Amino acid sequence: MRSSLESEQIKFYQDNGYAVARGLFSSDECQTLIEHYMTMRESVGTSEDFGKVDPNSSDPLKRYPRMLQMHLRDPISKDWMLDPRVGSCLTALLGKAPLAVQTMIYFKPPGARGQALHQDQFYLRAQPGTCIAAWLALDDCDEENGCMSVIRGSHAWPVLCVRQADTSVSFTSVTVPLPPDAKAEPVVMDAGDVLFFNGQLVHGSGPNVSKDRFRRALIGHYIEGDARKVGRYYHPIFRMDGSVAELEVSAGSTRCGDWVERDGEVILSERDAKAMEVIHD
């Protein structure tokens, strides 16, 4: 089991904005994490980050809502976020140790919608530099059960303005406009593979159209080690040794996948929305 990436993978990341560390975690580790989070799902109740489970809903994503920031109350999540294997890969890609700011898990059961193409930096607003994700496939994932898709080289693009997405296939209502020649490519992964990708890389996923296959993914978000600011939601910020780093707050950020709309415009936070109301008044 590797603890870092090969030089060819690092070069691929630099050129394309993403790289896959195959078999970074074992099948047994993935199964243990699946059992942990499936049990957690049954007991989380309602909170800002753990949506209430509605077992009778026709929407699979309400039966299996995503969970965020688990590391703030769950030692297993924090241990994974700070795992030396993840840290070693991130350090190899960034040239220095990162700072850890978020954990997420998506259950994505059969029939669940995907997520429209987007950029993570749109939400995190790390400054200077950008964010980076570590996306662990807990299940084998392919196009049938809604694997990740990426647009190679889009990490070199700026943070894009957003537009309305098709909510029949995406649980988020915003997406990004693409140039005519841009094409999203599926990243097929086995359980235990980790996809690392730049915060400006355009990525997303399609619906899970399988009959009986989950596509569970455990995700960590990180920022470059010399960043000075990140959105308030992502505090407290952890070094990879578990100590807390003090950073400033960047404006205009929110939880990944969240947004507020006013008069057809996407506002990144309720505070910004209130400011817009004052301007409009």
User: What ranges do the domains of the chain cover?
Assistant: 7-158+176-253
* Domain 7-158+176-253, CATH number (from 2.30.29.30, 2.60.120.620, 3.40.640.10, 3.90.1150.10): 2.60.120.620
pLDDT classification of 52: cutoffs 50, 70, 90:
confident
Structure tokens given for 104: 């997420």
* Cα 11–Cα 16–Cα 17 angle in degrees, nearest 5: 95
pLDDT of residue 51: 73
pLDDT tens, 151-182? 999 999 999 988 999 999 999 999 999 999 99
The answer to whether 133 and 221 have CB atoms below 8 angstroms apart is yes
| pTM of structure | 0.89
Q: Does the pLDDT of residue 267 top 50, yes or no?
A: no
pLDDT classification of 278: cutoffs 50, 70, 90:
very low
Three-state SS annotation for the chain = CCCCCCHHHHHHHHHHCEEEECCCCCHHHHHHHHHHHHHHHCCCCCCCCECCCCCCCCCHHHHCCCEECHHHCCHHHHHHHCCHHHHHHHHHHHCCCCEEEEEEEECCCCCCCEEEEECCHHHHCCECCCEEEEEEECCCECCCCCCEEECCCHHHCCCCCCEECCCCCECCCEECCCCCCCCCEECCECCCCEEEEECCCCEEECCCCCCCCCCCEEEEEEECCCCCEEEHHHCCEEECCCCEECCEEECCCCCCCCCEEECCEEECCHHHHHHHHHHHC
pLDDT classification of 205: cutoffs 50, 70, 90:
very high
pLDDT of residue 251: 83
